[in-house]
Amino acid sequence: MDTHDDLEKSRTQLKKEAVALQKTGEKLVTLSDDQLSRMALPTALREAIQEVRVMKSHGARRRQMQYVGTLMRTADVEPIEQALMAIEQGAYRQAKEFHRIERWRDGLVGGNDDMMNEIMATFPDTDRQRLGQLVRSARKEKQKNTPPKSARNLFRYLKELAADQ
């Protein structure tokens, strides 16, 4: 068996790698300008990504994305993928925190007073009187079937507590 063949990648492997780089490029296009500016991208790649964003024509956009994929082959992809992973994990943590706050609010409004103790234990600086007032107001709204203004205020207060932590 020729050792030269062992070192070369198959056409299938090359194609898979090209598709993976193109998908990474597609993720880059969806990022905000702020997120992109924090990444160490080659100038040509950054400009190509900016061009894709303004394109309306599907065909032109597809060709430009292929060009982005081509530029990705020459770029050092490792730090780009690490930065993308950090952004995705940050979004996951934010969503998880949002759901936790929603669960607390819904529990408090639903009458779960044990939730109050959990919040007080998690956030020792909590103004118990203010929290209690917000909960009572939100429960009254729910009983009267009025718009959930106090429930939104309760959510904001819980969000502030979580942000201060």
Q: What does the pLDDT look like over 109-164, one tens digit per residue?
A: 998 888 888 898 888 888 989 999 999 999 999 999 989 899 999 999 999 988 87
| Digit-coded pLDDT (tens) for 68-91 | 988 988 888 899 989 999 888 888
> What is the fold of 7-75?
Diphtheria Toxin Repressor; domain 2 (1.10.60)
Of the pLDDT bands very low, low, confident and very high (cuts 50, 70, 90), residue 7 is low
Count Cβ atoms below 10 Å from residue 103 Cβ, excluding itself. Answer: 13
Residues of the chain with CATH 1.10.60.30: 7-75, 86-164
> What band does 4 get if pLDDT is binned at 50, 70 and 90?
low
Whole-model pTM over 0.75: no
CATH of 86-164 given 3.30.420.10, 3.40.50.300, 1.10.60.30, 1.20.58.340: 1.10.60.30
In the predicted model, what is the mean pLDDT of residues 58-63?
Answer: 93
Three-state secondary structure of the chain: CCHHHHHCCCHHHHHHHHHHHHHHHHHHHHCCHHHHHCCCCCHHHHHHHHHHHHCCCHHHHHHHHHHHHHHHHHCCHHHHHHHHHHHHHHHHHHHHHHHHHHHHHHHHHCCCCHHHHHHHHHCCCCCHHHHHHHHHHHHHHHHHCCCCHHHHHHHHHHHHHHHHC
Q: What is the SS3 assignment for 116-132?
A: HHHHHHHCCCCCHHHHH
